[in-house]
Structure 1
């Protein structure tokens, strides 16, 4: 059963459509650093994944395919046959699934700070247990500590506080359900099926999805994929906002023939 996803659309109504999907524990607000530039040229559709922000949660374990089905229903409702996609972490995993299983729906693909597989799912099993015990509010500080480098976080306490609020406000059921999807996530065999021009962006110091092996596995698996490494941990789109926005614009506006 799908859920109706909360979304926010901005930019020229007749512009090319770019969908932005965020990380586990985030909302549409995590993309604010990119919005001023992207919305000048694109119809930017920011979405909350199932159980996040304004999107309802369903009980039980999820799979990435479930989250992708939610997206396809939204695209159909909006009358969007084909879109460009930029996802970070969980949102990028949904993008990988869409690009391999419904390639006709995805134009250009950008995958930020993400993985095609977690060899050791223990961290996600522990996260499920922690949410069951303390709720998302009880894990928010520890989660966000892995999103930004310590020096950057110390210099931007307001951003850190907003990030902790995003996690704390995430539905317990939605957060745990998505963690369950990460426990079983393994898309390595499907990466070669992705035909969309793909940019992979990695945070140089990312603890959750390090360049080696996570970003490297994706780049090696998707034909023609390109890797860019920027400073920062897991939410590199915030810590290295200008660099990520520039890379994204270059990827979305470069002629396919020149790649």
Structure 2
């Protein structure tokens, strides 16, 4: 609706001048709302899918909880973005066509235990277990008992820090605040695209022979969220999708943890497929 501007008149007609400001504001609001809606719908459509570059490895945050047998021998793993691994070079993984995923353990610091709701923790552990099953099932039989030909996968979550959603919202609401946020990763000793309040997830994992219980390989990694992430090498469409997913994940407490679980599940499946000479999925 147009309104008359008080005290002003149209020189040509002598009638009160009509202000178009409300109409312009309404148009701007509609435009902004449309952009926000596009981001929201685009982000939510992929929130449970593969994470890609939404999380990134941070070797400085890798834990040494005592879960693994030998930490000094861990080296950067092929095909990873920073995970540390060791594998017995004499073991032929083609001998293993079945996998046992044991109950996922959680070992957190006292302050982290208080910050994680038990209901959320169970949901996260269940999510990770299901993601591993989904990634490994196409190439290996999932079993519940150890034995010959069974690869046993033991996992301990050693770091779980939720995203501080209120701070993410505040950083986005401040005009041009996202510019400072996008550059705050390196300034705070974190990878590019991350910010100090984004979630962190740490893991230590062990691969054992299902018959002898001998350790075949070990890995450790720490993934942190990237609110400003884009896989440029994957093309414009994929880069946009990654950016939207990373951005939308910053507004959910545990979204980056689920992203990390998806990423690890796919990396484990892909690496095992290469070592076993089969198609990963």
TM-score for both structures, normalised by structure 2: 0.25
More helix by share: 1
Higher fraction of strand: 2
Task: For CA contacts below 8 A with separation 6 or more, give which structure has more relative contact order.
Answer: 2
Rg larger in 1 or in 2? 2
